[in-house]
């Protein structure tokens, strides 16, 4: 499947299948060992292609360490991801519409969900010098100012706003889901009270600004998180807003799990 088409199916799948918000009750032990990705069919090769990113996601979620992303050792483990799976299910992203042209039943975009054996994942982490960061996870409230390329800036809140705000909520939800963090946005009423109620009912406040910068050729995210008496700040530059939110949630995960200070990212 062409890369652009694959990315389109990923976006559509996330919008359709991930509900907002990621509530604390949904982040249980089982969900940490489960991951989803998109593949172009149900054949053996397609399944291997889809399971590889699932294993990487689970290792990151369970350990709380996003520095495992791109680790050559994890890449090697991902080649054998099927060995660590207990259950696999598929969902046809074409909603079971009949095949078109010469497309066969094994060459259709599928949303693949994989459950991994906790003991095997924990064993892989031990071989990497890591250990699980157990549930329950702290509840995160994200207080984010958005400064788009055109039009007025706005605060990203739980509902309302235009198309950009809606797309950003989907992207932030997907990012939080893939890091195993229970994250919520404030309501418009909460934003008014933010100065006097920093965490708006959550355990941790992730605050920041996401601005379109022409000189950076993309979005620039400046993030701030306070944890255990220490103030953490980091930045990502020149990326899509999807990548910016992934950077924000991965950095939050890294800090809260005790895996250090996130690095500023400049592609």
Domain 140-256 has CATH 3.40.50: yes
pLDDT tens digits along 77-121: 999 999 999 999 887 766 655 544 444 444 567 788 999 999 999
Collapsing DSSP to helix, strand or coil, 43 comes out as coil
pTM for this predicted structure = 0.83
If one compares 65 and 3, the residue with the highest pLDDT of the two is 65
Res. 155 pLDDT band, cuts 50 70 90: very high
pLDDT at res. 30: 84
Average pLDDT for residues 108-137, to the nearest whole number?
Answer: 91
What CA–CA distance (Å, rounded) separates 46 from 69?
Answer: 21
Q: Which of 125, 111, 118 is nearest to 34 (CA)?
A: 118
pLDDT at res. 234: 97
pLDDT at res. 56: 97
pLDDT at res. 9: 39
Res. 262 pLDDT band, cuts 50 70 90: very high
Average pLDDT for residues 182-191, to the nearest whole number?
Answer: 84
Q: Residue-wise over 42-62: b if at least 16 C-beta within 10 A, else e?
A: beeebbebbbbbbbbbbbbbb
CA 98 centroid distance within chain? 31
pLDDT tens digits along 27-61: 778 899 999 988 777 777 888 888 999 999 999 99
pLDDT at res. 100: 46
pLDDT at res. 3: 37
Q: What are the beta bridge partners of residue 200? A: none
pLDDT at res. 108: 63
**Minimum mean pLDDT among 228-232, 242-246, 257-261: which range?**
228-232
pLDDT at res. 196: 44
Q: Which of 85, 79, 245, 266 is nearest to 165 (CA)?
A: 245
**Mean pLDDT, the chain, integer:** 83
Res. 7 pLDDT band, cuts 50 70 90: very low
């Amino acid at each position: 499947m062409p890369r652009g088409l694959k990315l389109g199916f990923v976006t559509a799948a996330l919008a359709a299948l991930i509900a907002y918000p990621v509530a604390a009750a949904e982040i249980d032990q089982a969900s940490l060992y489960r991951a989803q990705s998109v593949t172009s069919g149900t054949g053996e090769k397609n399944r291997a292609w889809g399971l590889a990113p699932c294993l990487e996601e689970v290792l990151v979620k369970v350990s709380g360490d996003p520095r495992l992303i791109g680790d050559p050792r994890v890449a090697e483990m991902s080649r054998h991801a099927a060995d660590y799976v207990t259950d696999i299910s598929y969902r046809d992203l074409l909603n079971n519409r009949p095949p078109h042209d010469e497309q066969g039943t094994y060459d259709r975009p599928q949303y693949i969900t994989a459950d991994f054996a906790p003991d095997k994942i924990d064993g892989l982490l031990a071989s990497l010098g890591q250990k699980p960061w157990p549930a329950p996870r702290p509840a995160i409230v994200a207080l984010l100012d958005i400064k788009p390329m055109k039009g007025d800036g706005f605060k990203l809140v739980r509902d309302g706003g235009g198309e950009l705000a809606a797309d950003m909520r989907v992207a932030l939800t997907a990012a939080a889901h893939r890091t195993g963090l229970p994250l919520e946005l404030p309501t418009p009423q909460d934003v008014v009270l933010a100065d006097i109620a920093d965490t708006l009912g959550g355990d941790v406040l992730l605050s920041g600004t996401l601005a379109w910068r022409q000189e950076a050729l993309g979005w620039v995210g400046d993030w701030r998180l306070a944890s255990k008496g220490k103030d953490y700040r980091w930045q990502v530059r020149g990326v899509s807003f999807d990548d910016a939110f992934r950077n924000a949630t991965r950095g939050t995960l890294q800090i809260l799990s005790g895996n250090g200070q996130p690095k500023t990212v400049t592609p």
